[in-house]
Amino acid sequence: MNDILVAAEPLRHFVETALINEGVDVERAKQASATLSYADLAGLDTHGVLNLMSLYVKGLSEGVISRTAEIEVLRDQGAVVTLDAHQMLGLNAGHYAMQMAMDKAKQYGVGIACVRNSTHFGAAGYYAQMALAEDMIGMAMTNLGSDPVAHAMGSRQPILGTNPISFAAPVANMPNFLLDMSTTVCASGKIKQANARNADVSGDWLCNDKGEPVSNPEAYFNGTAYLPGLGGWKKSSGGHKGFGLNLMVEILSGVLAGADVPMVGQKGKTNEVGHFFLVMNIPSFMPASEFKQTMAQMLDGYLSVPTFDGFDTLQYAGQPDNDNRAERAERGIPIPVTIFKELNEYAASHQMMPLEEL
């Protein structure tokens, strides 16, 4: 695969140092590096250090992401808060807003934070899982602003963002449930990764204009293959349900948050991304121990169901990430050679310690 293994903590520290170099305040850099490190450890490779240079450092140095913006409370009514991130790092805006939603949930039983005028916030699951330690259920979503990249059921033009949903619920004595997925067949980063590695893309990640699968990722970049919404091109494979889910995310994190949305367009000079966070405080509904025990019983029941010949045993969302975390904490994070080189070129030109291969 042409990957290089790097230890998790030096990699996180590298991210923190690079962001400080770019003028980000130390506390914010530390927090943002924790979010990227979370994705790297969980195996969400498209949303970890891979994006450090191409999204965050580039955005900061071009002024598309603000180094100094403060988050502004636009409305604060009971359990609901609406925030303006003023184009700060989405990694910081997301953390701040999720914490506010959790504080509200503690007080009111539920808490909701909407964020407008933000930028790319990384892996949605990072924010949802923040709720777990407090015996809360967390949800996080984001749109892509007015920059659609995916197609709905044969639409001739891209009209959808990859609009991820994440949902986290605590479980007793087993890995927590943590669903973290784009509402397109895959995150667009997976197409970029395959292209960088000269590898084919799998299954139905890309389709041509007849709805037939395309395996060459280059076709996506030269405009002859398209990324479909979750469920694919056709109604028979559930494409209409993926389209609906994608729009649900767009409505909550785009329209309701007051961010830019596809088909309406950009309000200001820059693309204004929106996020949506929902938190439920379990003790406001039932004792947390009862909830977590029933979760464990239910999930354990699923895991014990046999599968047809040739199928893997069942897993639930959050389990693979948990396994990755344990393995990668011990063996290191695999980084594509091209990214390793890119990071160390940056280190050399910014008087930073280079990353070392394990």
Ligand X SMILES: NC(=O)c1ccc[n+]([C@@H]2O[C@H](COP(=O)([O-])OP(=O)(O)OC[C@H]3O[C@@H](n4cnc5c(N)ncnc54)[C@H](O)[C@@H]3O)[C@@H](O)[C@H]2O)c1
Among residue numbers 32 through 61, which ones bind ligand X (CB under 6 A)? 44, 46-47
Nearer to ligand X, 314 or 353 (CB): 314
Return phi, psi of residue 319, to 5°: -65, -50
Q: Is 262 in the site for ligand X (CB under 6 A)?
A: no
Amino acid making up residue 299: L
Residue partners of 302: CB distance under 8 A and separation at least 6: 314, 316
Q: Can you name the residues that pair with 228 across neighbouring β-strands?
A: 151
Residues in contact with 212: Cβ distance below 8 Å, sequence separation at least 6, in sequence order? none
Site residues for ligand X, window 282-301 (CB under 6 A)?
none
317 makes contact with ligand X (CB under 6 A)? yes
Closest approach, Cβ 290 to ligand X, in A, equals 25
- In the bound state with ligand X, the residue whose beta carbon lies nearer, of 210 and 311, is 311
DSSP 304-350: TS---TTPPPP--TTHHHHHHHHHHHHH-EEEEHHHHHHHHHHHHHT
- Nearest Cα neighbor of 204 from 178, 236, 250, 157 is 236
Closest CA to 140 of 37, 265, 257, 296: 257
| Of residues 130-159, those binding ligand X (CB under 6 A) | 142, 144
- Identity of the residue, 109 or 336, whose beta carbon is nearer to ligand X in the bound complex: 336
**Can you list the alpha helix ranges (DSSP code H) found in 58-204?**
58-62, 90-108, 124-129, 188-196
User: Which of residues 321, 335, 340, 343 is near ligand X by CB under 6 A?
Assistant: 321
CA 292 to chain centre: 25
Contact segment (CB under 6 A) with ligand X among 1-9, 131-139, 181-189, 262-270 equals: 181-189
Q: Does 278 bind ligand X (CB under 6 A)?
A: no
Which listed residue (98, 123, 247, 278) binds ligand X by CB under 6 A?
A: 123
- Told to check if 164 binds ligand X by CB under 6 A, we report yes
Residue 109 or 244: the one with the smaller Cβ distance to ligand X is: 244
Tell me the closest approach of the beta carbon of residue 357 to ligand X, in angstroms.
Answer: 25
- Parallel, antiparallel, or unpaired for β 80-84 and 110-118? parallel
Task: Report how many residues bind ligand X under the rule CB under 6 A.
Answer: 28
Contact pattern for ligand X over residues 221 through 250, marking x by CB under 6 A: ------------------------------
- The rounded distance, in Å, linking the Cα atoms of 352 and 105 is 42
311: which residues sit within 8 A by CB, 6+ positions away?
A: none
Please say which residue, 66 or 119, places its beta carbon nearer to ligand X: 119
Q: Which of 28, 120, 292, 328 binds ligand X (CB under 6 A)?
A: 120
Which of 87/142 has CB closer to ligand X? 142
Closer to ligand X at the Cβ: 84 or 180?
Answer: 180
Q: Which residue stretch of 15-23, 262-270, 277-285, 312-320 sits at the interface with ligand X (rule: CB under 6 A)?
A: 312-320
Among 320, 334, 336, 354, which residue interacts with ligand X (rule: CB under 6 A)? 320
Q: Which of 165, 147, 151, 142 is nearest to 254 (CA)?
A: 142
How many whole angstroms separate alpha carbon 224 and alpha carbon 28?
40
Assess 315 for contact with ligand X (CB under 6 A): yes
Q: Is 190 in the site for ligand X (CB under 6 A)?
A: yes
- Tell me which stretch binds ligand X (CB under 6 A): 71-79, 128-136, 180-188, 212-220: 180-188
Region class of 301: left (phi > 0), else alpha (psi between -120 and 50), else beta: alpha
Output the CA torsion sign for 105, 108, 113, 114.
positive
Of residues 255 and 347, the one with the C-beta less far from ligand X: 255
Distance CA(264)–CA(272), nearest Å, equals: 12
Choose one: 22-30, 184-192, 278-286, 299-307; the region binding ligand X (CB under 6 A): 184-192
The residues that touch ligand X, with contacts defined as CB under 6 A, are 44, 46-47, 120-125, 142, 144, 162, 164, 166, 178-182, 186-187, 190, 315-318, 320-321
